[in-house]
Amino acid sequence: MNTGLTHIFGKHGAGRDGHPHQGERPDLEMFRGMRHDHVTGLSNRHGFGEALERRLTAGHPTALVLIDIDQFSTINAVIGHRQGDQILLAIADRLRGLHADHTHIARLGDDEFGLLLDATHGLQAVEAAVLHLLRTLTQPLAAGLDEVTASSSLGVALTPTHALDAEGLIRAATAALTRVKAAGGGSWRVFDPHHDIAQQARTQMKADLQAAIQAGEIVPYYQPIIDLQTGRMLSLEVLARWHHHERAPIPPDIFIPLAEEMDLETPLTTSLMRRVLADQHDWPPHLTFAFNLSPGQMRDVISLIRNPPAWPEGHLDPRRMEIEIAAVALGEEADAARDVMAELQSHGTRVVLDDFGTGTANITQLRQLPFDRVKIDRSFILDIAHDPRAEACVRGMLTLGQSLNIDMVAEAIETQENANLLAGLGCRFGQGYLFSRPVPSEEVASLCHRYA
Ligand code: G
Ligand code: G
Ligand code: MN
């Protein structure tokens, strides 16, 4: 799919259908031809753009419907271009047969059509028309001797509700269409401004992320993990925080998935490690640092350990590193993780299974992989005092940990009551707001005092 502004109004004038052939002199007749698509006889995007501008200039409320035939290139490849063209013709006829008032129909690209509908009667009337349109398009089409059923995706936007000018209207309808395609096609959507804003914010954030990592805008916060029997601090979990130079702090739930999409997770982890190295100078040397990683990053960390970067500060001793892997992320990949994990452990790095109890195949992961430590997911701990079933699950997990000789950590301990309860159940380690929220490096020294 490639709908969009330039697509419809194309810098290339009339688009592929109306281009004057080389050597021919464009005359008036040819320019007239440039407003039509020669396969279907409908307007092309040039003609369509003019019709849209005319309607908007005249102040008619207008709905723009963008139609994209799903997997048309596959259809073309399977049944051949000639029959493909017949499908396009059949679709064009369906559209013409709608006989709606004040419609303008166009073929905008290879497998894209556009429709202008009168929106004087508001969104509901437009929605009814679009629903009818989608039904019409899903009826089998004659393609030569064959009948073909093609599914389509439709994106809809209205003036003045979603935009006031042609450019905004096309952008809105394209955004709606993109969402339909992303959800698998075969459906329709009206533009949703909230989604569009979220999308814009994401795009902007993605543009900022790489620079932010380089500029050190993403910093480690530290949350202690406490030995529930001795009250001493065992290690610090490193949690990334993005102090954006011109926005409110951005939480990791938002930027970590973006980093993942952009293959920036390891640069991010590396920059955190470097920062931790600088931060920890005055802290007790027995403390370890737990980094959250996706399973795919374990190899990268091994490379980092084998060939430490030439930082002037030196590098972090692998024996002071822990790697937390979320159970959900590990999924069924436990087998692939085994060797990588063994090598990490051979360097003295501990590997922790995070969010235990959520996701699938958890117990299998414990059976297959020699974790040093397991964190019981917060959902069990938050409810433990009031939900006997949550408590029963935690008991079971603790017994399992004991049998496998794995250290168990309860995360999200918020109350003294829960800390006592868990200690009573034999849970050795705990983490949570009761002890401390994740804090910036300046506040770690006082934590070291408190939990010495
Ligand atoms: O702090 P909290 O809201 O801080 O963290 C939310 C989620 O983000 C947690 O699941 C945590 O594991 C994850 N997270 C925090 N920092 C990092 C990081 O540096 N890398 C990865 N992959 N996840 C992180
Ligand atoms: O997925 P992971 O376990 O890495 O996530 C750590 C997350 O747990 C961070 O977002 C951190 O802020 C959050 N967290 C830490 N302590 C508590 C707590 O006591 N209660 C709750 N609800 N969340 C906590
Ligand atoms: Mn974690």
pLDDT in tens, 271-321: 999 999 999 999 999 999 999 998 889 999 999 999 988 888 888 999 999
Q: What percent of the chain has pLDDT over 70?
A: 90
Helix or strand (DSSP H, E) at 442: none
CATH of domain 201-450: 3.20.20.450
Which ligand is located closest to the Cα atom of residue 355?
2
Element (H or E) spanning 271, and its range? helix 265-279
pLDDT of residue 9: 34
Q: Give the pLDDT confidence score for residue 205 in this predicted structure.
A: 86
Q: Is the pLDDT of residue 427 over 60?
A: yes
Residues 386-391 have a mean pLDDT of 96
Model pLDDT, residue 148 = 79
For the residues 418-428, what does the mean pLDDT come to? 97
pLDDT at 257 over 60: yes
Asked whether 218 lines ligand 1 (CB < 6 A), one says: no
Between 106 and 103, the more confident residue is 106
The contacts of residue 37 (CB under 8 Å, 6+ apart) are 17, 43, 44, 106, 107
| C-alpha of residue 401 to centroid of ligand 3, in Å | 18
pTM attached to this predicted model = 0.66
Higher pLDDT, 106 or 100: 106
Mean pLDDT of the region 52-62: 93
For residue 438 and ligand 1, the question of a CB distance below 6 A is answered with: yes
What is the model's pLDDT at position 6? 32
Closest listed residue to residue 296, CA positions, set 355, 337, 352:
337
User: Residue 349: pLDDT above 90?
Assistant: yes
Check pocket membership of 148 for ligand 1, CB cut-off 6 A.
no
- What pLDDT score was predicted for residue 14? 34
pLDDT (0 to 100) of residue 38: 84
Q: Which of these ranges, 7-21, 315-329, 344-358, has the smallest mean pLDDT?
A: 7-21
State residue 293's pLDDT score.
94
What is d(CA 107, CA 69) in angstroms, rounded to the nearest whole number? 11
- For residue 117, give the nearest of 155, 154, 81, 65 by alpha carbon: 65
In the reported structure, the alpha carbon of residue 390 is separated from the centroid of ligand 1 by a whole-number distance in angstroms of 24
Answer yes or no: is the C-beta of 272 below 6 A from any ligand 1 atom: yes
Reading the block at residue 442, the tokens are 């300046």
Using only C-alpha atoms, what is the Rg of the chain? 30
Cα(199) to centroid of ligand 3, in Å?
A: 27
Query: Rounded to an integer, what distance in angstroms lies between the CA atom of residue 346 and that of residue 360?
Result: 28
Minimum-distance ligand 2 atom for the alpha carbon of 324: 4
Q: What is the pLDDT of residue 164?
A: 85
> Of the ranges 16-25, 83-92, 438-447, which is most confident?
438-447
CATH for 3-191 is: 3.30.70.270
* Nearest protein Cα to ligand 2, atom 18: 412
Whole-number Cα distances in Å, 410 to 227, 286, 357, 424, 428: 11, 21, 11, 13, 8
Please tell me the distance from the alpha carbon of residue 394 to that of residue 363, in angstroms, as a whole number: 14
User: Sorting pLDDT into bands at 50, 70 and 90, what band is 403?
Assistant: very high
Least confident of 12-16, 124-128, 168-172, 179-183: 12-16
Mean predicted confidence (pLDDT) in 115-144: 88
Reduced 3-state DSSP string for the chain: CCCCHHHHHCCCCCCCCCCCCCCCCCCHHHHHHCCECCCCCCECHHHHHHHHHHHHHCCCCEEEEEEEECCHHHHHHHHCHHHHHHHHHHHHHHHHCCCCCCCEEEEEECCEEEEEEECCCHHHHHHHHHHHHHHHHHCCEEECCEEECCCEEEEEEECCCCCCCHHHHHHHHHHHHHHHHHCCCCCEEECCHHHHHHHHHHHHHHHHHHHHHHHCCEEEEEEEEEECCCCCEEEEEEEEEECCCCCCCECHHHHHHHHHHCCCHHHHHHHHHHHHHHHHHHCCCCCEEEEEECHHHHHHHHHHHHCCCCCCCCCCCHHHEEEEEEHHHHCCCHHHHHHHHHHHHHCCCEEEEEEECECCCHHHHHHHCCCCEEEECHHHHHHCCCCHHHHHHHHHHHHHHHHHCCEEEECCCCCHHHHHHHHHCCCCEECCCCCCCCECHHHHHHHHHHCC
In this structure, the residue with its CA closest to atom 4 of ligand 2 is 292
Ligand 1 and 220: CB distance under 6 A:
no
Q: How sure is the predictor about 17, in pLDDT bands with cuts at 50, 70 and 90?
A: very low
Considering every ligand atom shown, identify the ligand nearest to the alpha carbon of residue 359 and give its number.
2
CB of 284 closer than 6 angstroms to any ligand 1 atom:
no
Higher pLDDT, 214 or 75: 214
- As a whole number, the mean pLDDT across the chain is 87
Closest alpha carbon to 371 in 347, 344, 411, 398: 344
- Percent of the chain at pLDDT exceeding 90: 59
pLDDT, one tens digit per residue, over 218-249 is: 999 999 999 999 999 999 999 999 998 887 88
The conformational region for residue 424 under phi > 0 = left, psi -120 to 50 = alpha, else beta, is alpha
Q: How do residues 134-163 score in pLDDT, each as one tens digit?
A: 998 988 887 666 777 888 999 999 998 888
* CB-CB neighbours of 39 under 10 Å: 15
Q: Per mean pLDDT, which range of 17-31, 59-73, 206-220, 370-384 is the poorest?
A: 17-31
Domain boundaries, the chain: 3-191, 201-450
Q: How far is the CA of 192 from the centre of ligand 1 (A)?
A: 30
The pLDDT value given to residue 101 = 64
